Amino acid sequence: MNDKDWIEDSTLEEIAPLPADSQSLSEGFHRYLRNHLGHFMGFVPFYLYEALSLTIRDRVMWKWHKTWKRQSEANTRKAYYLSLEFLIGRALGNHLLNLDIEKETADALMKYTVELEDVIDEEPDAGLGNGGLGRLAACFMDSCATLDLPVIGYGLRYEYGMFHQQIDHGYQVEEPDHWLRDGNPWEVPRPEYEQTIHFGGRAHHYHDADGVHRVRWVDTHDVVAIAYDLPISGYRNDTVNTLRLWKSTSTKAFDLDDFNRGSYAEAVEAKNEAEHITMVLYPNDASESGKELRLKQQYLLASASLKDVIRKWEKTHGDNYDNFAEFNVFQMNDTHPTIAVAELMRILMDEKGLLWDQAWEITQKTMAYTNHTLLPEALEKWPVRLMERLLPRPMEIIYHINKLFLHDIAMRWPGDTEKQSRMSLIDEEGDKAVRMAYLAIIGSFSINGVAALHSRLLCEGLFRDFYELWPERFNNKTNGVTPRRWIAYANPSMSALISHQIGDDWIRDLGQIDRLKDYIGDDHKKFQKKWHKVKQQNKQRLADLVKQTCDVDFDTSSMFDVQVKRIHEYKRQLLNLLHVVHLYNRIKKGDTENWTPRCVLFGGKAAPGYHMAKLIIKLINNVAKVVNEDVDVGNRLKVAFLPDYNVSKMEIIAPGTDLSEQVSTAGKEASGTGNMKFMMNGAITIGTYDGANIEILDAVGDDNFFLFGLKAEEVEQMRHDYQPHQIIDDDPDLQDVMFLLESGHFNLFEPSIFNDIIASLKSPHDPWLTLADFRSYVDAHDEAAAAYRDRERWVRMSILNTACSGFFSTDRTMLEYNNDIWKLTPGVNQ
Ligand code: 26Q
């Protein structure tokens, strides 16, 4: 039997749901543990997790199949979310919540004297992403399933996810994350949907029998992409959408060629090389230029996903592409999958025989692009030489797109050669490179930013020329986060309290959470007390985690002041640290009247090659050590750096936070999404006028947000005449802080190690203008401290923050994408 001779499963009967009472779950669990996994003695924790996951997966499967059937039978328009990252974290607890069988499952395990929570903790995080962009993709998938939108995620099945971070003598050490080592019970391999992906070779131009110019990509080195599907369940409905992840492997033919020549070892070597492509996630959260393997990853994702969609298209429509754009839309998560623009053109022309104009019309009507950065240096560029070697045919297509585009520009602005070179797809300065963002813009009908300010600044700055040309293509879609994972799952006690007060419709319709506003008045003191109690419990959970992992004592009566996110200079962990040093200095000076005790928590990973970010981690750890060991300080101030920050740690951190640090240089953070997770869980933000902070401030009002710092326009003004020395001279508090740093107080036996940090802070060319915001930041912190001392006031602010978070659900975000860009018809929501 040939590989392709499998039976189409659409011809099979619908599978029946399995019962999900505790008895049936317990039987299923028992069968998987004993009969399937072969474990009879003792309990190896991972196998408990595996057996339970398979048991639950059985309960997901029939809905998954039903959704698949419904979506593929009907002529439904579908969206495909193309992303190099899906930071989905753990699956088990999320499916239990969605299926509403948490209690039954806990009961089922009781027989074995096993705690559900311990089994859940056995699951390794699926760390298939760096940070915000990857987590956003995961939240989007959750909302689409809950809203029953036919959206399929396409990504890569990295064998090694985001590295694990260890801290050794204060320094970050990276450890590989072999998360698939023991297998993944949630994935379903689909070898029947493999796709062949081409690399190398050359473009062969010829004329077909009708004299039409055609191109074939020949002499290629091929690899095979294999599909692995993950179920994405909707919240308490019948929808289970699909996240399809590609793993690269070698072609059989390729192996065989070498094998026939008697080079068995070389054949296996070739297999190795092909499997390298999806071996590891690149741990940079800003573009890393020129890495060949990364380009291979991007192309493999784009090509395999497009071919998969076209395979499905041809099953129902044959080779007629007239209506293709009516039924398919691709959303590109940043420029990472943008080679898809050239690849769709190539497939349609070279493989399906369409002519340029029809292929271009289809491409432009099906592609949409989301930008996630305002940093010009983070815009992706690929060296032309590399592209020509690795992807010669797609590169030819890019050249042709550029030629036609620049012709249009020349006609519209005659003689403006500067504009032509500014807007060209090819950056001609130095080594020539392809500007991927411009390829995305030219190839898409929709281009969006991820918060109001970000979208506006894109139009006025980075993409100004393109906005002038096609204003109608540009739009904003403010990010969100899913309230299922980030409230209902992560914060069960607060959820129960909210539901008790206003019912539980808020979980599907977060707009309703604003009914909590009715409970901040004096006649609801009882509710406010309960709110406080829940927060204290959540703080204890966080304190336990900090004790376990950092051996630092956090007292829950202190204010928990938290900054967790990737370490980056623009995010200004340093500004936060300067404030910590300032507090330390005040304590040492005895300036402690009306003191608000604080526990300051940092967490986040630095890109392994980012020297300054790694040094910032070291400085945080050194300051923490000095502060925590100083008996004069006592409980007034504690500082900890939580190692290996990830999704499941955030599930404990956000509910236990009082003060959320969102302190980026204004105009630099595209949106931020951690800010929303904290707000939902009743933390109050101290933040700059940046990204989605602005929209959070709008929602809660300035009495419930500690705003500080320069605005984006003021930042740009100040750059021209930034004088950090003057700022230090004018501010005695800052003088003390800089003095402590420069004296080596935090690196007594490690001389000079922080010189680079000190120099960057004092440089008139510091792009992040950290010292410019110091005074206003300290003042905002003083206000926050005073507010915290008034417990009742703080509790009201906390409730209000949660109550105003309705807008920041990805359900709202997805409905906006759908209304303005995708235009899909949701199925009936059961
Ligand atoms: C690109 C090329 C080569 C290697 C790595 C990369 C790369 C990988 C990841 C570049 C960027 C990223 C991630 C960017 C990111 O997470 N951006 C964040 O996106 C969030 C969701 O929109 C926003 O909330 C944040 O403001 C933004 O920083």
Torsion of CA 184, 190, 193, 195, to 10 degrees: 30
**Amino acid occupying residue 724:** P
Per-residue pLDDT reduced to its tens digit, 787-799:
999 999 999 999 9
Q: Separation of 574 CA from ligand 1 center, angstroms?
A: 20
What residues are paired with 153 via a beta bridge?
Answer: 81, 243
Task: Check if 128 has its Cβ closer than 6 Å to any atom of ligand 1.
Answer: no
Query: What Rg value do the Cα atoms of the chain yield, rounded?
Result: 28
Mention every residue, 6+ apart, whose C-beta is less than 8 A from residue 365: 325, 445
The pTM (predicted TM-score) of the whole model is 0.97
331: how many CB neighbours lie within 10 A of its CB? 24
DSSP element (H, E) containing 642:
strand 637-642
Ligand 1 atom with the smallest distance to the CA of 672 is 24
Annotation marks residue 571 as catalytic: yes
**Annotated catalytic residue 677:** yes
- Contact indicator for 237, 100 with CB cutoff of 8 Å: no
Whether the per-residue pLDDT at 489 is higher than 90: the answer is yes
- For ligand 1, atom 21, name the residue with the nearest CA: 133
Q: Is the CB of 813 under 6 A from ligand 1?
A: no
Which atom, in ligand 1's list, is nearest to the CA of 691?
Answer: 26
Q: What is the rounded end-to-end Cα distance, in angstroms, of the chain?
A: 41
| Span from the CA of 131 to the centroid of ligand 1 (angstroms) | 7
Q: Is-contact 690 796, C-beta < 8 A?
A: no
What is residue 253's predicted lDDT score, i.e. its pLDDT? 67
Residue corresponding to tokens 């074995």: 112
Ligand 1 mean position, distance from CA 378 (Å): 9
Residue to mutate, 280, 372, 479, 571, ligand 1, most ligand atoms under 8 Å from C-beta: 372
- Ligand 1 nearest atom to the CA of residue 131, by list position: 16
Nearest residue (CA) to ligand 1, atom 13: 285
Distance 437 CA to ligand 1 centre (A): 13
Is residue 198 annotated as a catalytic residue, yes or no?
A: no
Strand pairing class (684-687; 426-427): unpaired
Query: What is the number of the ligand 1 atom nearest to the C-alpha of 335?
Result: 1
565 a catalytic residue: yes
Residue 373 CA to ligand 1 centre (angstroms): 7
Segment (H or E) for 88: strand 86-89
- Examine the pLDDT at 420 and tell me if it is beyond 50: yes
**For the segment 504-542, what is each residue's pLDDT rounded down to a tens digit?**
999 999 999 999 999 999 999 999 999 999 999 999 999
What's the CA gap between 762 and 770, in Å, rounded?
9
For the stretch 73-131, pLDDT in tens is 768 999 999 999 999 999 999 999 999 999 999 999 998 899 999 999 999 999 999 99
Q: How far apart are CA 310 and CA 352, in angstroms?
A: 10
CA of 133 to the centre of ligand 1 (A): 5
Mutate to test the pocket of ligand 1, among 370, 373, 677 (most ligand atoms within 8 A of CB): 373
Q: How confident is the model at residue 255 (pLDDT cuts 50, 70, 90)?
A: low
Distance, CA 129 to ligand 1 centroid (Å)? 9
Sequence-distant (≥ 6) Cβ neighbours of residue 660 within 8 angstroms: 562, 674, 675, 678, 679, 683, 684, 685, 686, 687
Local confidence band at 435 (pLDDT 50, 70, 90 cut-offs): very high
Q: Which of 450, 374, 449 is nearest to 673 (CA)?
A: 450
Is 103 known to be catalytic? no
Ligand 1 contact, 285 CB (< 6 A): yes
| Averaged confidence pLDDT in the chain | 96
pLDDT tens profile 718-733: 999 999 999 999 999 9
Q: Using a 6 Å cutoff on CB, does residue 234 contact ligand 1?
A: no
For 809-829, how does the pLDDT look when each residue is reduced to its tens digit (9 = 90+)? 999 999 999 999 999 998 844
Which one is catalytic: 571, 605, 618, 781?
571
User: Taking a C-beta distance cutoff of 8 angstroms, is the pair 56, 49 a contact?
Assistant: no
- Identify whether the C-beta of residue 678 lies closer than 8 Å to the C-beta of residue 652: no
Residue 214 has pLDDT above 90, yes or no: yes
Confidence check: pLDDT of 11 > 60 = no
CA-CA distance, 372 to 454, in Å (whole number)? 9
Residue 7, pLDDT above cutoff 90 = no
Alpha-carbon separation of residue 793 from 302, 509, 522, 702, 789 (angstroms): 52, 28, 11, 14, 9
Beta pairing partners, 197: 223
Over residues 150-197, the pLDDT tens digits come to 999 999 999 999 999 999 999 999 999 999 999 999 999 999 999 999
Q: Are strands 433-435 and 381-383 parallel, antiparallel or unpaired?
A: antiparallel
Q: At what angle do helices 774-789 and 732-742 cross, to 10 degrees?
A: 100
287 within ligand 1 shell (Cβ under 6 A): yes
The preferred substitution site among 334, 369, 567 for testing ligand 1, maximizing ligand atoms within 8 Å of CB, is 334
Under DSSP, the state recorded for 109 is H
> Minimal CA–CA distance to 137: which of 692, 693, 673, 566?
673
- Per-residue tokens: 377: 């240096």
Number of Cβ within a 10 Å radius of residue 68: 17
Q: For ligand 1, is residue 161 a contact (CB within 6 Å)?
A: no
The pLDDT of residue 762 is above 80: yes
Q: Coil, strand, or helix at residue 220?
A: coil
Coil vs helix vs strand at 103: helix
How far is it, in rounded angstroms, from Cα 305 to Cα 226? 11
Which has more confidence, 182 or 261? 182
CB distance 597 to 560 below 8 Å: no
| Residues 624-674: tens digit of each pLDDT | 999 999 999 999 999 999 999 999 999 999 999 999 999 999 999 999 999
